[in-house]
Amino acid sequence: MIGCIQMLKCVYQLELFQTEWNNISLTDIAQKLDLNPDDVAAHHFYNEFYIQLKDNNYVIDSDWKIKKEQMTLLLKQKIDELSKYKRIKVLSIGAGLGLIELPLIIDGYDIELQECQAESFEYIKSQISIKEWITNDFSDLPADSYDLIYMSIVSYVFDLPTYKEVLKNCSRILKKGGKLIIWDPRCPNPIVYKTKTFIKHLLNFPRGVKWGWARSCSLHTALAEKAGFTEFGQCYRDENLKLIKAITIFCFVLSIKKAIYQEIVLEKSIE
């Protein structure tokens, strides 16, 4: 019953499973590391993934690379809008290979990178020097230090208690009035998603490893508000990350084009 009420308020999350990423089998990684595929992939999992990607000479899916280039343009636009063209300090949480950030750091943007493992930064560090934070503990990061923090396809890794802590720390480490941007694949409609998952299960489709959680925009916002943020705006984006007109009615995102991504912008509340 409580679940149904929450769903009507669009406050819901769905478990995500994934079989491969950039042509690397995630199931094989779980087997190699002797991990339970029902435990969400954590730092040692990602560490092994990035080792395998390095062994493959960073051969990256071309579609995925294009998405990262589009993400760079979007990030540049966001930073320029927020900074009014003066230098602001930015933190990327869970930056991965740093592909989004690389061209902007080369252009002189002040972007620091955080990760839970060191392996993925090998790629960017072979090209430029970066300011990096390798930690799982966000309380290591200094208070009142950044104008903008963003998480690009990262928040899915955190279970709810961890995500609440991460958001509290984001509020702590942002300067007053600083912004937090969350980019995620659009959260699927729960009824459609659960039906599809059930059918795949009946057809014995491989489920892969537990990858994390997809969350509705309203859930991200509700959690962020508890952590000291106010909502600044949310929107949906198409496959080229272009803004699309969409409205959410209950759990349904109704849009002219199909929404692929969701974006939530939050502002640190001024106490």
Ligand X SMILES: C[S@@+](CC[C@H](N)C(=O)[O-])C[C@H]1O[C@@H](n2cnc3c(N)ncnc32)[C@H](O)[C@@H]1O
The residues that touch ligand X, with contacts defined as CB under 6 A, are 43, 46, 68, 93-96, 99-100, 114-117, 120, 136, 152-154, 157
Please identify, using beta-carbon distances, which residue of 153 and 235 lies nearer to ligand X: 153
Report in angstroms the alpha-carbon separations of 156 from 40, 52, 185, 257.
Answer: 10, 22, 9, 24
**Of all residues in this chain, which one has the CB nearest to ligand X in the complex?**
96
Q: Which is nearer to ligand X, 141 or 246 (CB)?
A: 141
Q: Report the DSSP beta bridge partners of residue 243.
A: 237
- Nearer to ligand X among residue 98 and residue 178 (C-beta): 98
CB of 203 to ligand X, least distance (A): 27
Residue number with CB closer to ligand X (154 or 180)? 154
Separation of first and last alpha carbons in the chain: 36
Q: How far is the CB of 114 from ligand X (least distance, A)?
A: 6
Residue 233 DSSP class:
E
Q: How far is the CB of 162 from ligand X (least distance, A)?
A: 7
Buried b (16+ CB within 10 A) or exposed e, 5-44: ebbeebbbbbebbeeebeeebbbebbeeeebebeebbebe
Helix (H) or strand (E) holding 201: helix 190-202
Q: How far apart are CA 36 and CA 41, in angstroms?
A: 9
CB of 10 or CB of 117, closer to ligand X: 117
- From the CB of 38, what's the least distance to ligand X, in Å? 17
Report in angstroms how near the CB of residue 183 gets to ligand X at its nearest.
7
